[in-house]
């Protein structure tokens, strides 16, 4: 029993992740989370207004972990924009593929969560697109890229590389052609950015 510790939102989120990992998204209940913490489910509702809010918080945490890894690459204004862009896209693809491959069930769980949290995902996509826009803007400023609209181009880059980060395509990431396909797509897009 860790019942000596006070009940915080943080502890609830950790327990919820564990319950989701164990039971999957369809069978994970608030009662399960409370049981895992050794408290009544009413106490969980003191910290999260609804089950949906609890799931949203867990989803946001997970999405934020992805953003952080990429943030560094986007912010590194010293490196040349083209290689930063390639690196950023490759890092995103590799990270997603590793997660999907290492623990497919957990990945599927988060896929379900993301599908029911349209708003949180939209924010996450906006964050990632913003990072891309920063890279594009740097390239336009330095003359490494053609004179494009950074925001619109960032959207286009994110959308055209969807096959390499959208979880719906996870099964394709394991095929032998995946790496070649990724290189071909990125090559074409990067060429399109050059002056």
Partner DNA sequence: CGAATGACAGATTTCAATATCTGTCATTCG
Partner DNA sequence: CGAATGACAGATATTGAAATCTGTCATTCG
Question: Applying CB under 7 A, which residues contact DNA?
Answer: 6-7, 26-27, 29-32, 39-43, 45-46, 49-52
Residue labelled with tokens 């083209």: 82
Residue 185 is a binding residue for its own copies (CB under 8 A):
yes
Helix/strand/coil for 79:
coil
| CA-based nearest residue to 128, from 157, 96, 163, 164 | 157
Residue 175 is a binding residue for its own copies (CB under 8 A):
no
57 binds, among DNA, its own copies, none (CB under 5 to 8 A by kind): none
Residue 86 is a binding residue for its own copies (CB under 8 A):
no
Burial class (CB in 10 A: 0-12, 13-18, 19+), 50: exposed
Q: Which is nearer to DNA, 45 or 169 (CB)?
A: 45
Radius of gyration of the chain, Cα coordinates, nearest whole angstrom: 20
Stretch of 5-13, 42-50, 103-111, 180-188 contacting its own copies, by CB under 8 A: 180-188
Non-local CB neighbours of 76 within 8 Å, separated by 6+ positions: 84
Residue 188 is a binding residue for its own copies (CB under 8 A):
yes
What are the φ and ψ backbone dihedral angles of 113, each rounded to 5 degrees? Answer: -60, -45
Q: Binders of its own copies among 139-158, rule CB under 8 A? A: 146, 152-153, 155-157
Which residues are near its own copies by CB under 8 A? 146, 152-153, 155-157, 159-163, 168, 177, 180-181, 184-185, 187-193
């Amino acid at each position: 029993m860790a019942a000596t510790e006070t009940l915080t939102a943080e502890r609830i989120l950790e327990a919820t992740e564990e319950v989701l990992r164990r039971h999957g998204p369809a069978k994970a209940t608030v009662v399960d989370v409370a049981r895992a913490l050794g408290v009544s489910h009413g106490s969980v509702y003191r910290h999260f207004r609804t089950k949906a809010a609890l799931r949203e918080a867990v989803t946001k945490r997970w999405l934020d972990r992805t953003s952080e890894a990429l943030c560094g690459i986007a912010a590194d204004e010293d490196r040349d924009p083209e290689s930063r862009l390639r690196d950023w896209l490759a890092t995103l693809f590799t990270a997603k593929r590793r997660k999907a491959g290492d623990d497919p069930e957990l990945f599927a769980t988060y896929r379900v969560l993301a599908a029911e949290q349209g708003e949180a995902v939209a924010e996450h996509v906006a964050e990632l697109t913003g990072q891309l826009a920063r890279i594009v803007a740097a390239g336009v400023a330095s003359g490494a890229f053609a004179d494009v609209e950074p925001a619109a181009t960032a959207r286009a880059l994110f959308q055209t590389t969807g096959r390499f980060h959208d979880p719906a395509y996870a099964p394709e990431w394991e095929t032998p052609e995946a790496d070649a396909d990724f290189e071909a797509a990125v090559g074409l897009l990067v060429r399109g950015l050059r002056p």
